């Protein structure tokens, strides 16, 4: 199941493909207009992208509804997200790193057996030893394999 990103608070979104997004959501008491917010956010993105040709930011959404301003950006990498946050003085998150791994298969095994998988095992829970595509499980375990 894929989830969409429609945040009602400042947050980050991590997609299965590793794409990162961040949202700034804030109550405002001025009578700013959605178009003004969008123009401001676009200007920030353009200024940043001129300085950082390798890491690009994209404005996904900008608007004001019921005195709540929301801006959503997408990034080409975690480093890009971090640099853009510094550039715009966004302190809504404080992360050291974000990495997304595409894990193809997860087997949930309960019981005792010598298990062989159709692909290379990358992880078995409970410190169970594994080698290439085999593991000796005893109890409730997760096996992740490619």
Residues 6+ apart with CB under 8 A from 46: none
Alpha helix ranges (H) inside 6-134: 34-51, 78-88
Helices (H) and strands (E) in the chain, counts: 2, 8
Mean pLDDT of the chain: 90
Percent of the chain's residues with pLDDT above 70: 98
**Mean pLDDT to the nearest integer, 46-71:** 93
pLDDT tens-place string over residues 70-112 = 999 999 888 999 999 999 999 988 888 887 777 688 899 998 8
pLDDT, tens digit, for every residue of 15-40? 877 788 999 999 998 888 999 999 99
Give residue 2's pLDDT: 63
Quick one: average pLDDT of 106-134? 91
Please state, in angstroms and rounded to a whole number, the distance separating the CA atoms of residues 137 and 146. 18
pLDDT for 127 = 93
pLDDT tops 90 at residue 57: yes
pLDDT at site 1? 56
The mean pLDDT of 46-54, rounded to a whole number, is: 91
Separation of alpha carbons 55 and 49, rounded Å: 7
């Amino acid at each position: 199941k894929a989830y969409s990103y429609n945040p009602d608070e400042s947050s980050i979104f991590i997609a299965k493909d590793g794409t990162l997004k961040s949202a700034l959501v804030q109550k405002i008491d001025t009578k700013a207009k959605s178009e003004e917010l969008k123009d401001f956010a676009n200007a920030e993105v353009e200024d940043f992208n001129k300085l950082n040709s390798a890491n690009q930011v994209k404005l996904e959404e900008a608007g004001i509804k019921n005195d709540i301003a929301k801006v959503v950006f997408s990034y080409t990498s975690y480093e890009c997200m971090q640099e853009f946050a510094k550039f715009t003085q966004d302190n809504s998150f404080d992360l050291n790193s974000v990495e997304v791994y595409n894990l193809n298969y997860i087997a949930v095994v309960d019981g005792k057996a010598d298990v062989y998988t159709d692909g290379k095992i990358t992880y078995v829970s409970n410190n169970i030893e594994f080698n290439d595509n085999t593991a000796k499980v005893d109890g409730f375990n997760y096996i992740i394999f490619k």
